[in-house]
Amino acid sequence: PSTSDYALEHIEAYQDRMPALFVARQQTKGRGRGARSWFAGDGALTFSALLSQANTPIEPHAWPRSSLIAGVAMCQTLEQYADTELLKVKWPNDVYLAGRKVCGILVEKRELANPVMCLGVGVNVNNSLENAPPDVQQKAIALTDITHQRHFLPEILLEFLLRYQKLSEANASSLESLLAYWREHCLLTGRQIETMQGTQQLTGECHGIDVNGSLLVQTSAGQRQIVSGEIIRW
Ligand code: BTN
């Protein structure tokens, strides 16, 4: 049903075997952020990784950054197949292709002996959305809809994992390149956006992200940082 549900249900069994990766050929009950569901037909790439603090150099307080890293790693991966001009990241970690969502990422945390992160990634690859209902087509796209090719899913998965690991290296130059990449590929910088953080709604101009990965919004009352939340309109 869902790679993230499976991973989280079996988290204790994998406690001493992390990182652990769960991949599905098809998902029937995929979950998205908030209360959304994530539809993934045959040909989509869906996986979840259980990472304990021992496997990641990033401290738990900076885990919001690993969610950004995942978005950037997938955006860079898809650049191997599609024109970079068409690929954008949307805070916190969605990847857009030709103005439509191609990848969604769900990060969940659990406290075991060590904090554990479940990184769930869904990418529309060979599951063309050209015949999907018009409301889905307006918002979502698959890689094949642009390339008109069938892609080898394990290759995309491996590319992503290598890039994720590289970008997670905790040093100043990896952080700098992450931020530079984000700034270059940010879908919404300079645009008017509406955000929700808990029950708080904010409207203003998107000014990209800060070093911790918080979204910067210039409101009429000054600049605000959104640590976690959603962009609801843009
Ligand atoms: C979103 O954009 O709202 C996040 C979507 C995350 C979907 C992935 S698919 C693999 C993993 N398993 C799930 O049930 N959800 C995530």
Q: Where are the domains of the chain?
A: 3-185, 192-233
Range 42-58 average pLDDT: 85
Q: Which helix (H) or strand (E) holds 74?
A: helix 63-78
Is the Cβ atom of 126 under 6 angstroms away from ligand 1?
A: no
Of 36-40, 117-121, 155-159, the poorest mean pLDDT is in: 36-40
Gap from CA of 8 to ligand 1 centroid (Å): 13
Of residues 80 and 230, the one with the higher pLDDT is 80
What is the residue-averaged pLDDT of the chain? 92
Q: Is the pLDDT of residue 47 over 80?
A: yes
Range 40-44 average pLDDT: 92
- The predicted pLDDT at position 115 comes to 87
- The predicted pLDDT at position 74 comes to 98
Nearest atom in ligand 1 to 32's CA: 3
Is the Cβ atom of 104 under 6 angstroms away from ligand 1?
A: yes
- The predicted pLDDT at position 107 comes to 92
- The predicted pLDDT at position 59 comes to 65
Beta strands in the chain (DSSP E): 20-24, 27-31, 37-40, 45-52, 87-90, 94-97, 100-111, 115-123, 192-197, 200-209, 215-219, 222-226, 230-233
- The predicted pLDDT at position 64 comes to 64
- Are 100 and 146 in contact by the 8 Å Cβ rule? The answer is no
Which tens digit of pLDDT belongs to each residue from 80-99? 999 999 999 999 989 999 99
Gap from CA of 173 to ligand 1 centroid (Å): 30
N-to-C CA span, the chain: 32
Range 137-149 average pLDDT: 97
Q: Is the pLDDT of residue 187 over 70?
A: yes
- Which residue among 38, 97, 153 has the greatest number of ligand 1 atoms within 8 angstroms of its CB, and so is best to mutate? 38
Nearest atom in ligand 1 to 4's CA: 12
- The predicted pLDDT at position 167 comes to 87
- The predicted pLDDT at position 65 comes to 76
CATH superfamily of 3-185: Bira Bifunctional Protein; Domain 2 (3.30.930.10)
| Topology match between the domains 3-185 and 192-233 | no
- The predicted pLDDT at position 164 comes to 92
- The predicted pLDDT at position 211 comes to 82
Q: Whose CA is nearest to atom 11 of ligand 1?
A: 120
Q: Is residue 55 very low, low, confident or very high in pLDDT (cuts 50, 70, 90)?
A: low
Range 131-145 average pLDDT: 94
Of residues 92 and 152, the one with the higher pLDDT is 152
Q: Which helix (H) or strand (E) holds 155?
A: helix 153-168
Lookup: tokens for 170: 């905790």
Q: Is residue 208 very low, low, confident or very high in pLDDT (cuts 50, 70, 90)?
A: very high
Is the Cβ atom of 122 under 6 angstroms away from ligand 1?
A: yes
Cα–Cα dist 50/24, whole Å:
15
CATH number of 192-233: 2.30.30.100
Is the Cβ atom of 46 under 6 angstroms away from ligand 1?
A: yes
Peptide bond into 134 cis (omega under 30): no
